Amino acid sequence: MEEKKGALCHVSLFLLLVGGLNWGLAGLGMLFGGNWNVVNLLLGSWPTVEAIVYLLVGLAALKVIVMMLAGKKACM
């Protein structure tokens, strides 16, 4: 069970990093007049897959928030 929990933890952190960097780049792109949304640039021709990536990033954030509110470490 620990291995699965560790893997889920690593995937959640990876998705949060991807999402955070993507939001930062998207914001910079808006300020400098370009599209720097990496997820959109890579998956824009597949809107369903792009939406799934955004959904997974949101679920990863929700998982970390719930664990923090429960007083547990987000990852071990």
> 43, exposed or middle or buried, with CB in 10 Å at 0-12, 13-18, 19+?
middle
- What average pLDDT does the structure give for the chain? 87
Mean pLDDT of 39-50: 93
Helices (H), the chain: 2-31, 38-43, 47-69
Q: Is the pTM of this model over 0.85?
A: no
The residue whose two tokens read 């893997």 is: 7
**Is pLDDT above 70 for 19?**
yes
pLDDT tens-digit readout, 58-72: 999 998 888 888 887
CA distance 63 to 7: 13
Q: Provide the 8-state DSSP code for 74.
A: S
Residue 55 pLDDT grade (very low, low, confident, very high; cuts 50, 70, 90): very high
**Is pLDDT above 70 for 4?**
no
